[in-house]
A and B are shown apart, each in its own frame.
Chain A
């Protein structure tokens, strides 16, 4: 069947046979990405909403900074957090090469994405929403919450886009997780390691799962963007 054919066959056998190594890598990816996106949403959604509604000196600078953070290479985020979490760093007691360190890095990565996309949704929202809520007796905070309800699909799309980014990244997971088997090995770091060891079929199995996750995320995004 040839190299590709044999590898694909083995990859599907690994997936359908629920191979333990594959399962662990998938679980670590999903677990760390889910935790980080929840934390990123808790910070990013209110921040994006606030930045979208408030007018103040330096706002454009803050938006430019947010855009820069959004485009920051994952290894740079990994590097900065490595410095903070290493034994000599200010957050040394939290420790490196743990799922917690990976979640911290992925949160830093996802928060600007969520905030930026929520900001875009707020900017594109109907300008009458806030005033309508105010004229019906809402406080400023209640009116802002009503705006969030009105743009809920945009907010969900922001969170899903952030999840897509962190589950597919390799730099933070590698630098802060250390690719430790059954602990911090994610789909992406396992692909990099196993392929370099010559285990192409194993890498392919995880690659197929990762692509499937990316496909599902994008299908969700498409559905939300059309609403």
Chain B
């Protein structure tokens, strides 16, 4: 099967001390990838490179069947949800409408998509709620809905459960595990080896800016060792 996105010989230099290096990475359709690695290892940078927010100094990024070099058009195939997502001022519906309007989708289709996506994330009847009134768990779910409503081929989530309480986390994980049913490829970054085991159908590991090759077991062990090193066994 043709990969959703392929990265080849990617090099990103940021300042003198950090660089990201990915020799080869191909993500298969409708899979959930857990991206693990220590703080500052380059997880967020890799996600931003895949979201086309950072242009690498070297290498190539290709989307499946892409016949366009237009950056904004390419960017519409992938969506990134940040660790602390920003919701635009206004209602939940305003936020979900934003990307749909950019894609020229008519209002009937927009309303239908918004309703169904809010149901998926468990926020029915939240359309008219103001963004500033939401809890952090709800903000995360609205941000996820805002990304999902666009039906991206690739959904990138930067530590999506880092800032939410344990109840919201359970609900979010349940949601995340079912996302591939909607035809989307998901990459989520996490510090938590057990979360990557629970949710990740595939595991990616990054250390010191380098994407590590290895079997799933080796990568999970590496993540566990790092956790034990930081927090104690």
Contact A126 B102 (CB under 8 A): no
- Among candidates B71, B89, B98, residue contacting A136 with C-beta atoms closer than 8 Å: B98
Q: Is there contact, CB below 8 Å, between B86 and A139?
A: no
12 contacts between A and B (CB under 8 A): A126-B86, A128-B85, A131-B53, A131-B82, A132-B85, A134-B75, A135-B80, A137-B76, A137-B79, A137-B103, A138-B72, A146-B88
Evaluate contact between A150 and B72: CB separation under 8 angstroms.
Answer: no
A178-219 interface (Cβ within 8 A of B): none
Q: Which listed residue (A131, A142, A149) contacts B102, Cβ 8 A? A: A142
A71 at the interface (CB under 8 A from B): no
Q: Find residues 134-180 in chain A having any chain B CB closer than 8 Å to their own CB.
A: 134-139, 142, 146, 149-150
A139 touches B72 (CB 8 A): yes
A136 to B72, CA, bound (A): 10
Is the beta-carbon distance between B150 and A136 smaller than 8 angstroms?
yes
With beta carbons under 8 angstroms apart, the residue of A128, A129, A135, A149 that contacts B79 is A135
With A128-B86, A150-B89 already in contact, the answer to whether A138 and B53 are too (CB < 8 A) is: no
Give the chain B neighbours of A139 by CB distance below 8 A.
71-72
Count how many pairs of residues, one from A and one from B, have CB atoms less than 8 Å apart in the complex.
Answer: 51
A134 → chain B, closest Cβ, in Å? 6
Is there an interface contact between B86 and A136, defined as CB atoms closer than 8 Å? no
Q: How far is the CA of A142 from the CA of B102 in the complex (A)?
A: 9
Q: How large is the interface on A (under 10, 10 to 19, 20 to 34, 35 or more residues)?
A: 10 to 19
Number of interface residues of B (CB under 8 A): 22
Q: Which residues of B contact A134 (CB under 8 A)?
A: 53, 75
Residues of A within 8 A of B98 (CB): 133, 136, 146
Task: Let me know if B84 and A128 touch, CB within 8 A.
Answer: yes
Closest chain A residue, CB of each to CB of B102: A137
Q: Which residue of A lies closest to B48 (CB)?
A: A131
* Known contacts A142-B102, A146-B98, A150-B89; A136/B79 CB under 8 A: yes
A137 touches B88 (CB 8 A): no
| A-to-B contact residues, CB < 8 Å | 126, 128-129, 131-139, 142, 146, 149-150
CB-defined contacts of A137 to chain B, threshold 8 Å: 72, 75-76, 79, 99, 102-103, 150
- Find the B residue at minimum CB distance from A136: B99
Verify B84–A138 contact, CB threshold 8 A.
Answer: no
Q: How far is the CB of B225 from chain A (nearest CB, A)?
A: 33
A131-B85 Cα distance, complex, nearest whole Å? 10
Complex Cα spacing A139 to B84, Å: 22
Q: Which chain B residue has the least Cβ–Cβ distance from A150?
A: B89
Q: Which residue of A lies closest to B156 (CB)?
A: A135
Task: Name the residue of chain B whose CB is nearest to the CB of A151.
Answer: B89
Specify which of B89, B103, B146 lies most central, judged by the most chain A CB atoms within 10 Å of its CB: B89
Residues of A within 8 Å of B75, CB to CB, are 134-135, 137
With most chain B CB atoms within 10 A of its CB, the pick from A132, A142, A146 is A132
Question: Residue B114 at the A interface, CB < 8 A?
Answer: no
User: Whole-angstrom distance between the alpha carbons of A100 and B80 in the complex?
Assistant: 51
Known pairs A135-B79, A136-B150, A139-B71; list 17 more (Cβ under 8 Å).
A128-B84, A128-B86, A131-B82, A132-B82, A132-B88, A135-B53, A135-B75, A136-B79, A136-B98, A136-B102, A136-B147, A137-B72, A137-B75, A138-B102, A146-B98, A149-B89, A150-B88
